[in-house]
Chains A and B, each alone.
Chain A
Amino acid sequence: MIFTEPRFLVFFLAVFAVHWALRSNGARKAWLTLTSLAFYGAWDVRFLGLMMASAGIDYVAGIGLGRTEHVGRRKALLAASVVSNLAILGFFKYYNFFVDSGALFLRWLGLEVADHTLAIVLPAGISFYTFQSLSYTIDVYRKKLAPVSGPLDFTLFIAFFPQLVAGPIVRATDFLPQLETKRRWLDVDVRAALVLFLIGFVKKGLVSDHLAPVIAPVFDAPLAWSASSTWIALALYHVQIYCDFSGYSDMAIATAALLGYQLPKNFWFPFFASGISEFWQRWHISLSTWFRDYFYFALGGSKGSSFKGMMVGSLTMMVVGLWHGAGWQYVGFGVLMSGSIIVSRTWGMLFAEGTWPRRASAFLGTPLLWWFLFWNWILFRSTSWDAGWAMQRIFFFLEDGGAQQLSPLWLLAVAGFFVVHWAFYKGWFARLRATNDWLFAAAVGSAAALALVFLAAETQAFIYFQF
Chain B
Amino acid sequence: MTHDGVPSTPARPAPGLAGSLARCALALVAFVVTLALLRSVAVTPGGSSIGGRVDAWRAQPSEHDTLFVGTSHVLRAFVPDTFDAALAELGVEARSLNFGVQGATLLETRWLVRELLAARPDVKRVFFEYQWLIPQVDPENAFNPRTVYWHDLDSTRLAMERARHWGRELGDDLTFVERASERHSVFTLFERLAPGGERAAFQHLQHGLFELATVGRGKDVLKGLAGRGAARTGRVLAGDGYLSLEDEVAELARAGSTQNSYTARRARFLAEQGEYLASVDRLDAEERTFGDGEWMNGALVRVDDFELVQRIAREVAERGVEFVLVILPSQSCDRPFEERLMAELGAPVLRYNVPAQYPRLYDVEYRFDSGHLSAEGADYFSRLLARDYAALARGEGERSVAPAREDQP
Contact = CB atoms under 8 A, between A and B. Distances in A.
Interface string A191-221: 1110110010000001000000000000000
Nearest to A193: B1
B186 interface: yes
A346 interface: no
Contacts of B184: 43-46
A192 B32 CA distance: 23
Given A41-B185, A250-B4, A453 B221 contact: yes
B35 to A, nearest CB: 5
Interface in B1-25: 1-10, 14-15, 19, 23-24
A91 interface: no
Interface string A130-157: 0000000000000000000000000000
B6 A196 contact: yes
B190 to A, nearest CB: 10
A265 B2 contact: yes
Contacts of B19: 437
A41 B186 contact: yes
Interface in A436-467: 437-438, 440-446, 448-450, 452-459
B191 to A, nearest CB: 12
B214 A452 contact: yes
A425 B26 CA distance: 30
Contact of A424 (B5, B28, B214): B5
Interface in B306-342: none
B218 interface: yes
A283 to B, nearest CB: 11
Interface stretch (A301-309, A356-364, A426-434): A426-434
Q: Is the interface of A mostly helix, strand, loop or mixed?
A: helix
Interface string A30-70: 00000000100111111000000000000000000000000
B: contact size bracket: 35 or more
A195 B184 CA distance: 34
A175 interface: no
Contact of A189 (B1, B23, B210, B218): B1
Contacts of A246: 4
B189 A437 contact: no
Nearest to B209: A6
Nearest to A190: B9
Given A45-B184, A46-B184, A449 B5 contact: no
B186 A42 contact: yes
Interface string B207-238: 00010011111100100000000000000000
Contacts of A440: 23
B10 A434 contact: yes
B393 interface: no
A45 B1 contact: no
A269 interface: yes
Nearest to A45: B186
B35 A449 contact: yes
A403 interface: yes
Nearest to A452: B215
Contacts of A269: 4-5
Contacts of B9: 189-192, 433
Interface string A262-285: 000111110000000000000000
Given A45-B184, A192-B8, A438-B26, A453 B31 contact: no
Nearest to A444: B27
The winner among A246, A266, A437 for most chain B CB atoms within 10 A is A437
A186 interface: yes
Contacts of B189: 45
A456 B217 CA distance: 8
Contacts of A84: none
Given A45-B189, A442-B27, A6 B215 contact: yes
Nearest to B14: A186
B3 A450 contact: no
B253 interface: no
B145 interface: yes
A441 B27 contact: yes
B237 to A, nearest CB: 25
Contacts of A176: none
A267 B3 CA distance: 7
Contacts of A199: 4, 6
A41 B186 CA distance: 5
Contacts of B50: none
B136 to A, nearest CB: 18
B7 A455 contact: no
A361 B38 CA distance: 48
B3 A456 contact: no
Contacts of B187: 1, 42
A172 interface: no
The 7 closest A-B pairs by CB, nearest first: A445-B30, A41-B186, A454-B218, A424-B5, A457-B216, A445-B27, A449-B34
27 contacts: A6-B215, A38-B186, A42-B185, A42-B187, A45-B184, A45-B185, A192-B6, A192-B7, A192-B9, A195-B6, A199-B6, A253-B1, A266-B3, A433-B8, A433-B10, A437-B23, A443-B30, A445-B27, A445-B28, A445-B34, A452-B35, A452-B213, A453-B38, A453-B221, A456-B216, A457-B216, A459-B143
